[in-house]
Homo-oligomer: A and B are copies of this chain.
Amino acid sequence: MSDVNRKAGPTFPVAAGRRSSYLPRPMSVLIVGSTALDSIKTPKAENPRLLGGSASHAAVAASFFSPVKLVGVVGQDFPRRYLQLYKRHRIDLEGLQILPGKTFHWSGEYEANMNNRRTLLTELGVFETFTPTLPESHRNAGFVLLANIAPSLQEHVLNQVRRPKFVAADTMDLWLNIALPDLLKLIKRLDAFVLNDSEAHQLTNEENVFAALKKLHKLGPKYVIVKKGSHGSVLSGPRGIFLCPAYPLDKVVDPTGAGDSFVGGLMGYLAAAKGPLESNLRRAMLYGSVVASFCCEGFGLQCTTKLKRAQIERRVRELEMAARF
């Protein structure tokens, strides 16, 4: 391990020393999504007003691999320490608007099995009127992650990016229920569509994941990724199916943001990896899976933000060992 890995926070090849100027700079990932305060209750604990939101989780996860440009909105009540936390991860905040009003606030409660959760409260706050306008420096982004947020906002951001190399979007059941036409319009324009198994079922009316995948490709995307929580994830693309295992955890503290961390880690790894994208996608899922496992071990971003790259690499090796026959 080089010294790079012993430093706190994420590191990039460009920071590794004098020879770095000869190395290609990793492409940055543009991430739009929700930036929120989460109040989370589990059978064992209760944590109010943690840093949360799909874009926060995805941005921190991606930051271990690539530079990140965050696009979102927060209110004037947004704690300064959370801005500092983004900055410690070298997340570019030029696209983060701070508007008069309150930050989006979500509150939810988990059952003992840590899979079923119910929403107790949703206060949209400044998100109610949010229309992201990308700074000029963001419009040439190569990798674009449209993390979970209203599909009309996801598309509005996508419209402002000039020639993206790879666009992925995540979603949630809410948008399937209240904004399906917008979502279907967006899906057509994606390279990769990411959703969980119950959403895949809801969207296709297929109980079987592999039958659902076939129908999902017909909506447009070359790649479809179905997240199955502790059961791993499935990638479907031109090279067939990839069955990605989840890192085996014997204790889950709080799964909030695990799916966002997965897709953030995946996009961050992909943007930094050399060679053809198609060949990197499987390993990118493995890295996403590992970052998501750390996310589950603490409330909100508590565990993920303490991570070092070397810890991620160690778990990737462990996961490779556990999946090898």
Residues of chain A at the chain B interface (Cβ within 8 Å): 112-114, 207-211, 213-214, 228, 230-232, 234, 240-245, 248-252, 282-283, 285-286, 320-325
CB distance from A315 to the nearest CB of B (A): 13
Could you name 5 residue pairs across A and B whose Cβ atoms are closer than 8 Å? A211-B250, A231-B232, A240-B322, A243-B245, A286-B325
Knowing A286-B325, A325-B283, say if A210 contacts B248 (CB, 8 Å).
Answer: yes
In the assembly, how many copies of this chain are there? Answer: 2
A252 touches B282 (CB 8 A): no
The chain B residue sitting closest to A321, CB to CB, is B240
B243 touches A248 (CB 8 A): yes
A208 to B293, CA, bound (A): 14
CB distance from A245 to the nearest CB of B (A): 4
A324 to B250, CA, bound (A): 24
A211 touches B251 (CB 8 A): yes
The chain B residue sitting closest to A287, CB to CB, is B325
Contacts of A250 in B (CB 8 A): 208, 210-211, 213-214
CB distance from A2 to the nearest CB of B (A): 23
Count chain B CB atoms within 10 A of each CB in A112, A209, A231 and give the residue with the most. A231
The chain B residue sitting closest to A252, CB to CB, is B208
Contacts of A114 in B (CB 8 A): 207
Contacts of A231 in B (CB 8 A): 228, 231-232
CB distance from A308 to the nearest CB of B (A): 22
A6 to B244, CA, bound (A): 33
Contacts of A228 in B (CB 8 A): 231
**The residue from B112, B208, B242 contacting A325, defined by CB atoms under 8 A apart:** B242
Contacts of A252 in B (CB 8 A): 208
Q: A208-B251, A242-B322 are in contact. List 6 more A-B contacts (CB 8 A).
A: A210-B249, A213-B250, A241-B248, A283-B325, A286-B325, A320-B325
The 9 lowest CB-CB distance pairs between A and B, nearest first, are: A210-B250, A282-B325, A231-B231, A243-B245, A211-B250, A113-B207, A241-B322, A210-B248, A243-B322
Contacts of A230 in B (CB 8 A): 209
CB distance from A18 to the nearest CB of B (A): 33
The chain B residue sitting closest to A212, CB to CB, is B250
A323 touches B211 (CB 8 A): no
Count chain B CB atoms within 10 A of each CB in A252, A282, A285, A325 and give the residue with the most. A325
B241 touches A282 (CB 8 A): no
A249 to B209, CA, bound (A): 9
A285 to B232, CA, bound (A): 18
A208 touches B249 (CB 8 A): yes
The chain B residue sitting closest to A235, CB to CB, is B322
The chain B residue sitting closest to A112, CB to CB, is B207
